[in-house]
Structure 1
Amino acid sequence: MEPIFILSLLAAAVFMLLIIGAPLKPLQWLGYGAIRLLVGALFLFFLNAFASPFDYELPINGVTAAVSGFLGVPGLAALVAIDIWFIP
């Protein structure tokens, strides 16, 4: 399957969850988690976009997206601090 098709389906599912709402509690938790992961990936994307002139890049993967999505800006700052000071 094409990656763009899969991403379109995921975006449509998240959009439907936002508009209609999930009737079941587990689906609400899945929707909440998916939205948080997307927000975390956006945080990382914008960090990489604005930090590229300084030759800094933080990888965008599931773990970093989850940390920055669920913890917000303090989580993103913690990832940057860990990357700068603890990871050579």
Structure 2
Amino acid sequence: MGNFIYLVIAILTLVLVVKLLAWPMKVLLRLLINGILGYVLLLLVNVFGKSIGVYIPTNALSCLIAGIFGVPGVLFLIIFNKFF
């Protein structure tokens, strides 16, 4: 009987640890997807934006903004580039 209680406690602890670790993995996966999408959009804007005079330099700050915020970040960079 004592071993059964320890087994149940171990299983519940394992489930709790897996649930706690799953949340940061979702956040990291979302940041990774946003980063890749933002960088690809930044490159596309630079390739196709040359004809209309839009060029966003690919530096650490612009990659960070595009990576964290994704599409809205790239739109912010385009608007910021046009007005400033």
Contact 1:38–1:65 (8 Å) recurs in 2: no
CA distance in 2, matches of 1:35, 1:61: 19
Q: Partner of 1:58 in structure 2?
A: 56
* Number of residues of Structure 1 aligned to a counterpart in Structure 2: 64
Which one of 63, 67, 77 corresponds to residue 79 of structure 1? 77
Contact 1:68 1:76 in 2 (8 A): yes
Q: Which has the larger radius of gyration?
A: 2
What TM-score results when the alignment is normalised by the length of structure 2? 0.56
RMSD: 2.4
* Cα distance change, pair 74–36 in 1 and its aligned pair in 2 (3 A): closer
**Contiguous gaps of at least 5 residues in structure 2:** 1-20
Higher relative contact order (CA 8 A, sep 6+): 2
- For residue 27 of structure 1, the aligned residue among 10, 25, 28 is 25
- Say if 2:39 and 2:67, in contact at 8 Å, map to a contact too: yes
